[in-house]
């Protein structure tokens, strides 16, 4: 039997359509005879008396109507609601035609015959296609078992994905989970709807391997709660993308994706203030240093959305510059790519003058703590001296606005990377106190998710390799923010500056890195190995790296902080060093960094001028 089905299914599309047409031509007259036989309760009946060769008319008209409605063009294996509606309409048309024949006295048709024929015809079409679909899927089904899935959310998206999963070879929907009490205990598309509590108890019993979140409009906070509720269950959590990503409103199996940890650690966004986003950008020439980095490139993406007159990309990495330049060429904004180092002040001034730049976002810096700790002179030269020369160039060319992108590691740092950033801040603060024609601001924030310096990409790679996942210390914590949110807030903070300001971005709650590692392991469908050795992936503690802190801070002086017009931006009033003194210090640092000698003197300078700095 399977060989026969395979031979039919392997026919060209046109030949399969002919097979269906021939089958219907044979069965439709039989349906009409059956309607009369049932109506008169005997098999020997005269059908459509007065119309010779009635069976030809019934077959040809029926097949013609089905063909016009595209029933033969549809793929039987994609049997769905649209297909059923087409069959229903075709059946109704034929019933109306029969009543028309009766009204015109073309043939004798009892009043109940069209209804009986319509019911039998629809039943035949439905069952014949369903049997064909079932037999075909069974014959060609993959040998490996389908993944058993519970769908969280019995709304429209849940119903659509259940139908799509039923048609797939890889997934088998087993049940729905929904918070609405009115739905619990009901059945939808043949699947029972359970409350979250009852579903938890039945996951193992039903052999469910994955829970699919079919709630595209749910917020991050609620999504995080849902995922955490399955922490004790041995299931993988998958999701559908957000509403804005489901462009055509139709959910497909290909839309299913793994839950991104970035979505969970990020927060529900606060709507940005358009006037702040546009103040330093719209119709202005803007330059971003470090334009190819994680923050720099996202700043560029945000900037082009607000119609700058021109965007100048300044970057010392050829590949990074090429990547962001190529990405932005389709933005409709004039983009100029400049390859160079921020330590080259004469080139910076020439570029600023040549393109009459008005706003500078300074994102160029080294940010990998262990690398900078092992190469302190290079870190100080690129980050501290690079910032000095960038802001000096901006002031010399009368740039309107200069915004330094800083880090929480600059607060009481235990590493050279953080100290180099704090020195950059001190120089900007000192310079701002003597040069009011250029508005100099500092924006300080913590880790951004998914950046090259983030632990998230590292953990993903380690999990994919089967572990171990390496965490430096069980108590280490960090603040996290998504790159797009950080870039938007940087732009808005810079627009609020008056000169020498230090803005702090609200980073939300700090996260234990070991908890982050455990959650990422669970989201991948594995279990972290516990004290008893039970689980799939080991979490290994490697010890704090040179210069690394257990936790980061955003404030040097927590008493001098005030709110701003934006909910997630604060303003800090911090002590600073006079420009005359800090300029002399930077001359010393520059000499040391260029000559690469006397590391102890460099450390002593950092200890003296960076509040709280201790050599790690």
pTM over 0.75? The answer is no
**Beta strand ranges found along 119-222 (DSSP E):** 147-152, 171-177, 187-188, 191-194, 210-213
User: Half-sphere exposure of 553 toward its Cβ, with a 13 Å CA cutoff?
Assistant: 13
149 touches 138 (CB < 8 A)? no
CA 551 to chain centre: 28
274-609 — its CATH code? 3.40.50.720
- Which CATH superfamily hosts domain 147-259? NAD(P)-binding Rossmann-like Domain (3.40.50.720)
How far is the C-alpha of 445 from the C-alpha of 480, rounded, in Å?
9
Say which DSSP state 243 is in.
Answer: G
How far is the C-alpha of 439 from the C-alpha of 41, rounded, in Å?
97
Regions in the chain scoring below 70 on pLDDT: 1-11, 13, 74-80, 137-145, 241-255, 260-270, 447-454, 507-508, 547-560, 616
* Own/partner pairs, 246-252, CB within 8 angstroms, 24+ separation: 246/157, 246/216, 250/160, 251/157, 251/160, 251/161, 251/164, 251/214, 252/164
Nearest to 336 by CA among 350, 320, 351, 353: 351
How far is the C-alpha of 593 from the C-alpha of 378, rounded, in Å?
7
393 touches 549 (CB < 8 A)? no
How far is the C-alpha of 317 from the C-alpha of 340, rounded, in Å?
8
261 touches 336 (CB < 8 A)? no
- 147-259 and 274-609 in the same fold: yes
Q: pLDDT for 304-350, tens place per residue?
A: 999 999 999 999 999 999 999 999 998 889 999 999 999 999 999 99
Per-residue confidence (pLDDT) for residue 139, from 0 to 100: 63
Nearest to 243 by CA among 253, 231, 251, 254: 251
Burial of 322 (0-12, 13-18, 19+ CB in 10 A): middle
How far is the C-alpha of 520 from the C-alpha of 396, rounded, in Å?
49
∠ Cα 337 338 340 (to 5°):
150
Nearest to 386 by CA among 299, 314, 292: 314
Burial 67-95 (b: 16+ CB within 10 A, else e): eebebbebebeebeeebeebbeebbebbb
Per annotation, catalytic residue among 224, 409, 421, 460: 409
Q: Which two tokens stand for residue 485?
A: 């949110």
63 touches 25 (CB < 8 A)? yes
Q: pLDDT for 424-448, tens place per residue?
A: 999 999 999 888 789 999 998 876 6
Query: Of all residues in the chain, what percent are helix, strand and coil, respectively (each to 5)?
Result: 45, 15, 35
Query: How many residues are given for the chain?
Result: 616
Per-residue confidence (pLDDT) for residue 247, from 0 to 100: 43
How far is the C-alpha of 310 from the C-alpha of 303, rounded, in Å?
10
How far is the C-alpha of 426 from the C-alpha of 585, rounded, in Å?
11
Per-residue confidence (pLDDT) for residue 4, from 0 to 100: 64
Distant-in-sequence, close-in-space partners of 281: CB < 8 Å, separation ≥ 6: 303, 306, 307, 308, 359, 491
Per-residue confidence (pLDDT) for residue 184, from 0 to 100: 87
Element (H, E) at 441: strand 439-445
Distances (CA, A) of 277 to 367, 493, 495: 26, 9, 7
Q: Domain segments of the chain: what residues?
A: 2-140, 147-259, 274-609
178 touches 153 (CB < 8 A)? yes
**Is 284 designated active site?**
no
The alpha carbon torsion through 219, 221, 222, 225 (nearest 10 deg) reads: 150
Distant-in-sequence, close-in-space partners of 340: CB < 8 Å, separation ≥ 6: 314, 315, 316, 347, 348, 351
């Amino acid at each position: 039997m399977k060989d026969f089905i395979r031979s039919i299914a392997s026919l060209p599309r046109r030949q399969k359509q002919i097979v269906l047409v021939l089958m219907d031509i044979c069965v439709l007259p039989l349906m009409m005879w059956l309607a009369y036989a049932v109506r008169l309760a005997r098999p020997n009946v005269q059908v459509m008396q007065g119309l010779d060769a009635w069976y030809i008319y019934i077959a040809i008209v029926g097949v013609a109507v089905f063909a016009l409605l595209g029933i033969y063009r549809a793929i039987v294996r994609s049997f769905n609601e649209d297909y059923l509606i087409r069959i229903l309409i075709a059946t109704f048309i034929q019933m109306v035609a029969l009543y028309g024949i009766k009204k015109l006295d073309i043939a004798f048709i009892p009043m109940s015959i069209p209804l009986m024929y319509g019911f039998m015809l629809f039943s035949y079409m439905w069952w014949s296609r369903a049997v064909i679909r079932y037999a075909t899927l069974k014959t060609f089904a993959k040998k490996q078992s389908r993944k058993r899935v519970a769908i969280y959310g019995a709304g429209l998206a849940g119903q659509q994905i259940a139908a799509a999963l039923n048609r797939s070879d890889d997934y088998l929907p087993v049940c729905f989970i929904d918070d609405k009490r009115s739905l619990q205990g009901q059945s939808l598309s043949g699947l029972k709807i359970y409350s979250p509590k009852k579903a938890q108890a039945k996951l193992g019993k039903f052999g469910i391997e994955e829970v699919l979140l079919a709630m595209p409009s749910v917020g991050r906070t609620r999504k995080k709660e849902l995922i955490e509720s399955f922490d004790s269950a041995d299931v993988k959590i998958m999701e559908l993308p957000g509403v804005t990503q489901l462009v055509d409103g139709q959910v497909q199996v290909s839309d299913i994706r793994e839950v991104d940890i970035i979505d969970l650690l990020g927060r529900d966004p606060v709507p940005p203030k358009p006037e702040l986003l546009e103040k330093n950008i719209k119709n202005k020439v803007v330059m971003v240093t470090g334009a190819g980095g994680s923050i720099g490139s996202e700043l560029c993406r945000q900037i082009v959305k607000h119609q700058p007159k021109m965007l100048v990309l300044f970057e010392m990495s050829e590949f990074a510059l090429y990547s962001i330049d190529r990405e932005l060429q389709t933005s409709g904004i004039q983009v100029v790519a400049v390859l160079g180092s921020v330590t080259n002040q004469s080139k910076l001034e020439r570029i600023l003058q040549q393109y009459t730049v008005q706003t500078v976002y300074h994102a160029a810096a080294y940010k990998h703590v262990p690398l900078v700790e092992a190469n302190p002179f290079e870190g100080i030269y690129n980050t501290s001296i690079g910032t000095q020369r960038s802001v000096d160039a901006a002031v010399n060319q009368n740039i309107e606005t200069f915004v330094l992108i800083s880090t929480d590691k600059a607060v009481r740092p235990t590493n050279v990377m953080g100290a180099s950033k704090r020195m950059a801040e001190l120089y900007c603060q000192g310079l701002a106190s003597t040069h009011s024609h250029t508005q100099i601001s500092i924006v300080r924030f913590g880790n951004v998710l998914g950046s090259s310096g983030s632990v998230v990409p590292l953990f993903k790679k380690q999990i994919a390799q089967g572990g171990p996942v390496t965490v430096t210390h069980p108590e280490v914590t960090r603040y996290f923010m998504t790159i797009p949110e950080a870039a938007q807030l940087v732009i808005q903070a810079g627009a609020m500056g008056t000169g020498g300001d230090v803005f702090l971005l609200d980073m939300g709650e700090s996260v234990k890195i070991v908890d982050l590692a455990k959650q990422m392991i669970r989201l991948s469908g594995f279990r972290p190995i516990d004290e008893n050795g039970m689980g799939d992936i080991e979490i290994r503690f490697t010890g704090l790296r040179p210069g690394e802190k257990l936790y980061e801070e955003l404030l040097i002086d927590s008493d001098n902080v005030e709110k701003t017009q934006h909910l997630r931006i604060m303003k800090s009033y911090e002590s600073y060093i006079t420009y005359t003194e800090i300029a002399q210090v930077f001359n010393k640092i520059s000499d040391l960094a260029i000559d690469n000698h006397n590391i102890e003197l460099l450390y002593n300078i950092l200890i003296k001028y960076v509040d709280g700095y201790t050599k790690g």
